[in-house]
C-alpha cells in the first residue's frame, strides 16, 4: 500500500492502519498459490494482464467506493466465510495482508479510485483471486 494512504489513515483515525507487510516466506507461499491458481508462473510485468485474460467472470458495478458498495460486491461474487485477504497492489513487491472485516470497514480509506488503477484480492481460505479496477469492473 502506498505510504500516503497510511499517513492519511493515521491522521484521520489517530492510529496506524492494521495491515501487515509479508515476510519473504509468506511472499513465496503466496506466489506459489497464485501460480497454481493461474496454472503458470507469472512475473510482475504481466500479472494484472494475465488475471484479465484468464478470468471469464467479469462484472461491472455502478460504484465500488464505499464500504457498503464493496461489501455488496463481495456478496454478489460469493465471497463468504473468509477471514484474511491479501491486497496485491503491485506483484510481488507491494502486497498487504489484512483482516477482511477490517478491509470492508475501511474500504474507502484504503481504495482510492481516483489514484488506484487496480488491486487484486487473494482469499487464502477459498483460494480465489478477484481483480477490482478503477472502472468499477470486477474480474473473478
Cell numbers placing 26: 509468506
To which residue does cell 494512504 refer?
Answer: 5
How wide is the angle at C-alpha 106 spanned by C-alphas 89 and 104, nearest 5°?
85
> 58: number of CA atoms within 13 Å, CB side?
9
pLDDT tens digits for 101-113?
A: 999 999 999 999 8
Q: Name the 3-class secondary structure at 70.
A: helix
Which residues are CB-contacts of 28 (< 8 A; sequence separation ≥ 6)? none
C-alpha distances (whole Å) from 75 to each of 11, 19, 102, 104, 138 are 31, 22, 16, 12, 13
Residue ranges for the chain with pLDDT beneath 70:
none
What's the pLDDT at 86?
Answer: 97
Cell numbers placing 18: 492494521
What's the pLDDT at 42?
Answer: 85
State the distance between the two ends of the chain, measured CA to CA, in whole angstroms.
Answer: 22
What's the pLDDT at 85?
Answer: 97
pLDDT tens digits for 34-57?
A: 999 999 888 778 899 999 999 999
Which residues are CB-contacts of 15 (< 8 A; sequence separation ≥ 6)? none
Q: How far apart are CA 70 and CA 24, in angstroms?
A: 29
What's the pLDDT at 119?
Answer: 97
Amino acid at each position: 500500500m502506498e505510504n500516503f494512504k497510511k499517513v492519511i489513515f493515521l491522521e484521520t483515525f489517530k492510529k496506524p492502519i492494521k495491515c501487515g507487510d509479508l515476510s519473504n516466506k509468506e511472499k513465496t507461499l503466496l506466489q506459489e498459490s497464485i501460480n497454481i491458481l493461474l496454472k503458470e508462473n507469472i512475473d510482475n510485468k504481466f500479472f494484472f494482464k494475465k488475471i484479465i485474460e484468464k478470468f471469464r467472470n467479469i462484472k461491472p458495478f455502478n460504484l465500488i467506493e464505499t464500504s457498503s458498495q464493496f461489501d455488496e460486491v463481495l456478496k454478489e461474487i460469493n465471497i463468504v466465510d473468509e477471514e484474511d485477504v491479501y491486497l496485491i497492489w503491485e506483484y510481488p513487491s507491494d502486497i498487504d495482508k489484512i483482516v477482511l472485516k477490517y478491509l470492508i470497514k475501511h474500504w474507502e480509506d484504503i481504495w482510492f479510485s481516483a489514484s488506484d488503477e487496480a488491486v487484486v484480492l487473494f482469499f487464502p481460505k477459498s483460494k480465489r483471486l478477484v481483480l477490482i479496477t478503477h472502472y468499477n469492473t470486477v474480474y473473478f
